[in-house]
Amino acid sequence: MATASAVTAWGKPTIKSGASGESGALGTTLEDVGKIKENTTSLELVKGNVNELFGEGHELVDKMELEGTWTLKFTVIKASLDKIAKFFGLSVSTDKLAMKTTIVSEPRSYTVDPLLVGAIGAELPYCYTSITPKFATAEGWTIEFEVTTMEPESESVAPATLYVKKAAAQASSQSTGK
């Protein structure tokens, strides 16, 4: 069922993440990433490469644009050692975290669920995640995320799916884990 007009997706989305499902499908166990810093969330389509063929005199003969990717950026605030460890697949022992890696090695799924019913949200089933823990005296420890969609292994899975948020009673019938 199509909607006539979308509700503006004002701030305070809920972002959930978890391991990607089989063949790059949306993961079934997604957890809230935590408290997100105000005005740091963005989701945009990054255009793919453009190939152009020119003839003499810089005459455009042919042009082809490749598929792009979606990029989700946000910053988690009030990050604890446990929270930092979880995203890197590490473990905390005796209040210390040995940062043995700074790479998130497994593909992850994300959902960006808007605050308002009728607003547009997004499902990103198969993503590469880049995480940067940072400390600043003005805000303590934060974790900056840059998430990039990848082509799922299964052709039946879209790299991104946009949806209209339903009221709680309607949403319970959906199987997307929101």
For the stretch 53-104, pLDDT in tens is 999 999 999 999 999 999 999 999 998 888 888 887 788 887 888 887 778 8
**DSSP letter (8 states) at residue 112:** E
Number of domains making up the chain? 1
The answer to the question of residue 61 being in a domain is no
Give the predicted TM-score (pTM) of the model.
0.83
Range of the domain at 109: 70-166
Asked whether residue 96 is assigned to any structural domain, the reply reads yes
Length of the chain, in residues: 178
Please give the Cα distance from 102 to 105 (Å, whole number). Answer: 9
Q: Find out whether 28 and 125 touch, Cβ atoms under 8 Å.
A: no
User: pLDDT of 97-142, one tens digit each?
Assistant: 888 777 888 999 999 999 999 999 999 999 999 988 899 999 998 9
Q: In which element (H, E) is residue 103 found?
A: none
Answer yes or no: is 153 within a domain. yes
- pLDDT at residue 173 in the model: 46
The pLDDT score that the predictor gives to residue 3 is 53
Please give the sequence-ordered ranges of beta strands (E in DSSP) within 82-139, or none if there are none. 108-113, 120-136
Q: Is the pLDDT of residue 9 over 90?
A: no
Strand pairing class (69-77; 14-19): unpaired
**Identity of the amino acid at 137:** T
Q: What is the DSSP letter of 130?
A: E
Q: Is position 109 within any domain?
A: yes
Q: E strands within 24-119?
A: 31-32, 42-46, 50-55, 59-65, 69-77, 108-113
Domain assignment present for residue 80? The answer is: yes
Provide mean pLDDT across the span 25-50.
Answer: 94
Can you state the percent helix, strand and coil of the chain, rounding each to 5?
10, 45, 50
Average pLDDT over residues 36-44: 95
CA 101 distance to own-chain centroid: 21
In a domain, 19, yes or no: no
pLDDT tens digits along 140-173: 989 999 999 999 989 999 999 999 999 876 554 4
Per-residue pLDDT for 34 more than 50? yes
Query: In the prediction, which pLDDT does 21 show?
Result: 94
The answer to whether residues 71 and 128 touch, using CB atoms and an 8 Å cutoff, is no
User: What single string gives the DSSP state of each residue in 138-162?
Assistant: TTEEEEEEEEEE---SSTTS-S-EE
**Token pair for 168:** 């709680």
